Amino acid sequence: MTHPPVLPFVVAVDGPAGSGKSSVSKEVARRLGWGFLDTGAAYRALAWHVEASGVDTDDPASVISCLDSFAYRIGTDPTGYSVHVGATDVTHAIREPGISGVVSRVARVPEVRTHLIELFRAIMAAERRGGIVVEGRDITTVVAPDAPARILLTASEEVRMARRSAELVGHSAAATGAQLQARDAADSKVVDFMNAADGVVTVDSTDLDFDETVEAVLAVIRDAQVRTG
Ligand SMILES: Nc1ncnc2c1ncn2[C@@H]1O[C@H](COP(=O)(O)OP(=O)(O)OP(=O)(O)O)[C@@H](O)[C@H]1O
Ligand SMILES: Nc1ccn([C@@H]2O[C@H](COP(=O)(O)O)[C@@H](O)[C@H]2O)c(=O)n1
């Protein structure tokens, strides 16, 4: 007798740049023994691939022409996170300010979003751990609107800018802050990740430290597990 595949418990996390989505979601997944999917990494890796192909990131048709050759690989193990495009390990390269500065241009192209959203859903469906924490900008609303736990992780702009510039040693705090603001402004034209959609729980980490934020997210997940039996 064949059994239908057991679907993982999906935790959808959205929020603005520097709100802690990636670091907090990864730690939550690690503590639960679940998978972790950073969807922003795919948009970043595509921006990297477009630039490496010598193509203008500002030209939608050229960006679309790079999709067929975009050999993207990401694992869902929160303890062994790495991102590849073909044979190249781009895990660190995609975090560079140069990529942060152009990623919104590729992310605004509807064909890109359709392509990557399909990929994210396939990765989620293939997850063999009990659950998967998926973070991005449109996970609670577009990628996984039926997820049992949906969270908007936010923090004041001032705090997000300070956290991001503490990470980027050697870059000016003013330039880092300006880039974060510009990216949020560009991304907000495509998806709304500043306001919680119906049924989405807001976790505001402005006055929480990292561990308190992880605990707050875990509490939302526990509530959702009780609710969904
Ligand atoms: N509650 C917190 N208290 C202190 N630092 C935090 C907190 N949450 C996250 N951080 C730190 O803030 C920085 C930004 O977090 P992270 O990269 O996870 O944000 P993000 O939302 O994924 O950003 P982006 O969308 O730009 O990739 C990291 O250095 C992270 O360790
Ligand atoms: N679901 C998503 C995730 C990301 N983006 C775009 O990718 C950029 C990088 O994302 P990070 O989370 O790594 O900062 C982001 O600025 C968006 O342009 C997206 O559109 N949808």
Task: Tell me what the mean pLDDT of segment 215-229 comes to.
Answer: 96
Instruction: For residue range 72-125, list pLDDT tens digits in order.
Output: 999 999 999 899 999 999 999 999 999 999 999 999 999 999 999 999 999 999
Q: What is the model's pLDDT at position 1?
A: 61
Ligand 2: list residues with CB < 6 Å: 17, 39-40, 43-44, 103-104, 107, 136-139, 183, 187
The answer to the question of whether 18 is labelled as a binding residue is yes
Q: Tokens for 122, please give them.
A: 């396939």
User: Global pTM?
Assistant: 0.96
Residues 27/13, Cβ–Cβ less than 8 Å:
no
Which tens digits make up the pLDDT trace of 154-210? Answer: 999 999 999 998 887 777 888 889 999 999 999 999 999 999 999 999 999 999 999
3-state secondary structure 127-194: CCCCEEEEEECCHHHHHCCCCCEEEEEECCHHHHHHHHHHHCCCCCHHHHHHHHHHHHHHHHCCCCCC
Residues with Cβ within 8 Å of 120's Cβ and at least 6 positions away in sequence, in order, are 37, 39, 42, 134, 136, 143
Is pLDDT at 5 greater than 80 in this prediction? no
Any atom of ligand 1 within 6 Å of the Cβ of 167:
yes
Whether the CB of 136 sits within 6 Å of ligand 1: no
- Has domain 9-228 been given CATH number 3.40.640.10? no
Which pLDDT score, from 0 to 100, does residue 81 have?
83
Domain ranges in the chain are 9-228
**pLDDT of the residue at 6:** 64
For ligand 2, mutation pick of 24, 26, 39, 141 (most atoms within 8 Å of CB): 39
21 in a labelled binding site:
yes
